[in-house]
Structure 1
């Protein structure tokens, strides 16, 4: 049944006049009359009778009005939902991320994202980078974020690089230095990132090239743990700048490190399917954050 016929019928009942209904709908009176005639032909019974020069619903018309109003209410809700989905204001977004991004990068982004979209629900899954990459074929999330390299056989990847910083405990002897180097840091205890990360090999490489030895005393899995250990005075470390910023309230002293060590991550999604409206909007927000 044509929804426009139901809308014309509802308007005539509400306004008790074809003329008034036509004005409210922004169409001509003959157009509304034609729609009512078509609807009566379709349902097989009269919907109106004239009383005192005005239209009055028949008993059958009253019953039909109640059902038509319910259906049109559902149509209105569907149209509103369609608009929200089209504009990225409704739906569910699932993001699977490695722990460092889940702790330091994503919380403010997700907070801003849902603040602009009250009808959107977001679920965050935190796993190691290799696990995140393995989850995607199961379609358990919309966007994955992991350390590079990422197997690109089934995914599209956007790459991001962040220059790492050296972090020191409060009141460290090198806190007054503007730039830190392997030669300056070699004699001091270091909190090392776990060997499963990409960063430790790069740290060892630059120290070896400088001809000095690392003095690693503790090894930890996550950048957040490294920051906590450094703040407690265990030693210095090298982390991504977002982690250093996120834990600055612990009194950490962050300084540029030379030569540069880049921490690389990637955001990815299924190659055989375009990102949803919500996923595309979040990816744009991520781009602005990491490339801005």
Structure 2
């Protein structure tokens, strides 16, 4: 049944005349009369009868039909509103799978900002190791993935981001007064090593070896968050991404630039065989604004 006919019928009942209904709808009186006649032909019974003064009065059948028509039009209005929300990225659910460093230091502020601007949107965050995040994607368990590189690009569209790592020290460390830290300065100093990140370990060890400096890893921790907490507790120094260092700055960490540069890389990805949803695309833009230009 044509929704426009139902809208015309509702307008006539609410305004009690074709003329007033036409004015309310912004159309001509003959147009409304024609719509009512067409609707009566469609339903097979009269919807109105003439009352005193020439005003229209709904028939008993017309009032029953009005109740149902009003309910249906309410559903249509809600569907129209929901459609607009989906189209504009204001409704729906976004699932993001990420490695722990991103789940702790990158995503919370971004997700909070994202949902604050979209009251009709919900977000689910899944935290797994990078290799698990990559393996989960074919199951379609999430919309966006964030993981340390390398990531198998066979089935995904990948955007790479680089961050220059920073050295973190306990508050009273002997080198806390230095403005720049190097392998030579940190040689032999107790270190908290990021054990779960092969790319980080290889680059750090390679950098120290090139400088003929010694790494003294007294603790190995899987997560950057653990590295930060251990450093804050006085265990030793560490090298972490700048987002993690910023997230745990309140613990009293001393953060310093490190030379030569050790780059930490992550990948943001989604399925190659389909475009990201409106919500996913909006979050990718927000993520890009946080991480800067991709590599």
TM-score, with normalisation over the residues of structure 1?
0.99
Aligned counterpart, 1:171: 172
C-alpha distance 5-230 of structure 1, shift in aligned 2 (>3 A): same
Q: How does 1:5-20 map to 2 (within 5 A)?
A: 5-20=5-20
Name segments (4+ residues, structure 1) moved above 2 Å.
none
- Write the distance in 2 (CA, Å) between the matches of 1:83 and 1:290: 30
Contact 1:84 1:90 survives alignment (8 Å): yes
Name the count of aligned residue pairs: 292
- Write the distance in 1 (CA, Å) between the matches of 2:252 and 2:229: 10
**DSSP 3-state at the match of 1:64:** helix
Aligned counterpart, 2:2: 2
- Write the distance in 1 (CA, Å) between the matches of 2:87 and 2:238: 46
- Write the distance in 2 (CA, Å) between the matches of 1:31 and 1:195: 72
- Write the distance in 2 (CA, Å) between the matches of 1:214 and 1:197: 16
Contact 2:158 2:267 survives alignment (8 Å): yes
Aligned counterpart, 2:51: 51
- Does 1:42 pair with 2:42? yes
Contact 1:16 1:54 survives alignment (8 Å): yes
Shift of 1:149: 0.9
Contact 1:224 1:243 survives alignment (8 Å): yes
- Write the distance in 1 (CA, Å) between the matches of 2:268 and 2:108: 16
- Write the distance in 2 (CA, Å) between the matches of 1:221 and 1:32: 71
**Cα shift readout 1:150-208 (whole Å, capped 9, x = no counterpart):** 10000001110000000000021111111100000013111111054310110000000
**Cα shift readout 1:111-145 (whole Å, capped 9, x = no counterpart):** 00000001101000000000000000000000000
- Write the distance in 2 (CA, Å) between the matches of 1:283 and 1:112: 13
Q: How does 1:224-235 map to 2 (within 5 A)?
A: 224-235=225-236
**DSSP 3-state at the match of 1:22:** helix
Aligned counterpart, 2:112: 111
**DSSP 3-state at the match of 1:285:** helix
**What's the Cα RMSD here?**
0.8
- Write the distance in 2 (CA, Å) between the matches of 1:81 and 1:197: 46
Contact 2:196 2:223 survives alignment (8 Å): no
Query: Where does structure 1 lack aligned partners over 5 or more consecutive residues?
Result: none
- Write the distance in 2 (CA, Å) between the matches of 1:195 and 1:23: 70
Aligned counterpart, 2:280: 279
- Write the distance in 1 (CA, Å) between the matches of 2:14 and 2:217: 80
Aligned counterpart, 1:260: 261
Contact 1:163 1:240 survives alignment (8 Å): yes
**DSSP 3-state at the match of 2:141:** coil
